[in-house]
Amino acid sequence: MSFDLILTGGRVVDPSQGIDEVTEVAFKDGRVAALGDRLDRGQATVQDVSGKIVTPGLIDLHTHVYWGGTSLGIDAEEFARMSAVTTCVDTGSAGPGNFAGFRKHVIEPSQIRILAYLHISFAGIYAFSSRIMVGESHDMRLMAARDAVEVALANPEHIIGIKVRIGRHASGDSGIQPLDIALQVADETGLPMMVHIDEPPPSYEAVVERLRPGDVLTHCFRPFPNAPVDGRGRVKPAVLAARERGVIFDIGHGQGSFAWKTARAMMKEGFAPDTISSDVHALCINGPAFDQVTTLSKFLVLGMSLSDVIAASTVNAAKALQKPELGTLKPGSVGDASILSLDAGSFPLSDVRGEVVEAKERLFAKGVVVGGRWWHPA
């Protein structure tokens, strides 16, 4: 077989197949074509990635990439290059009232894959900046159930779920009511939800108890108040019950939703996240989240293996999206790959409360393959 591109010399880490070895990866016609040693070069472009790590294309399950359409949006392609991400999942930047613009002006022209959780708020997250912060779920008049169903059903290739934000900042006096509306929309469309939680009310327990198998609770390692652990560092029973029934726990680091204290307690209790995401947006791309590889590196510090960290941004995220063709280097799958380095040194990594931990190793983005084509990092 002739190939278009071969990556050679790299350590391939693909948790979907249990692979962790130095081998070659070949691409043909936009898909993974083969893995193995000394693949036939033919007319293929050969990219030497010796000393680097090759993984399935990284999926960032929580981003905000409606650049120009919302104040929190960042440029998806620029972010992909600097973070070795091949799939950005936008989580509610757009609602049914402005999704058409997001699709036409951002999603369709993008060279990387952008999938979306559609917000039940008519205008999505519309007032999120350094000067103005209006929780879109405060006003029940904006909860657009019928419109959300119509737009979600009309855009199945782009919309993979329903987003709602709950908490004192996001929903205010509306409390948990927007979640009840989102549940109805999710049921009507047959889609999973991603649910944001910030400070109480409502409580972490009240939110997680409503979630169904396959729904995603993002900001799952957030700091007190509304942390998933109690004052003794024990995981709350409602959290354990939710995992048991199939709720997916996602990091969603962002500006205010990852704390070293919470993370240490959760990991000590054996409760690792299912998926790791950056929640990158305009207010945290310059810290403390920065990007996906920085977020992933924090879990190496917490004792997760490299394979488990990669799984949380590849195969596990693909399962959450119900997209088995992503997050793997199995022949025939989508031809996306991320090239990383794992560098030794001393790297300060901060949480959202200002606690800094010195990491002895850190992941860096070194290149991206999208649709079987090589990208250089920006």
* Token digits of residue 157: 């290739």
Question: Per the omega criterion (within 30 degrees of 0), is the bond before 192 cis?
Answer: no
Question: Do residues 200 and 166 touch, judged by C-beta distance below 8 A?
Answer: no
**Can you tell me the distance from the alpha carbon of 120 to that of 142, in angstroms, rounded to the nearest whole number?**
8
62 annotated among ligand-binding-site residues: yes
- Round to whole Å and give the CA distance between 377 and 368: 7
Token pair belonging to 291: 């990007």
Enter the tokens of residue 339. 């090239």
- Please, are residues 76 and 67 in contact by the beta-carbon 8 Å criterion? yes
Residue 216 main-chain phi, psi, to 5 deg: -115, 125
Q: How far is CA 371 from CA 6, 103, 122, 306, 333, in A?
A: 13, 20, 33, 25, 10
User: SS3 for 117-185, per residue?
Assistant: EEECECCCCCCECCCCECCHHHCHHHECHHHHHHHHHHCCCCEEEEEEEECCCCCHHHCCHHHHHHHHH
- Confirm whether residue 219 is marked as ligand binding: yes
336 is in an annotated binding site: no
For residues 258 and 224, the answer to whether their CB atoms sit within 8 Å is: no
Up-side HSE of residue 295: CA atoms within 13 Å toward CB? 39
Is residue 119 a known part of a binding site?
Answer: no
Q: How many helical (H) and strand (E) elements, i.e. helices and strands, does the chain have?
A: 10, 17
CB 57 within 8 A of CB 87: yes
Q: Which residues are annotated as a binding site?
A: 62, 64, 163, 196, 219, 279
Q: Which residues are annotated as a binding site for Zn(2+)?
A: 62, 64, 163, 196, 219, 279
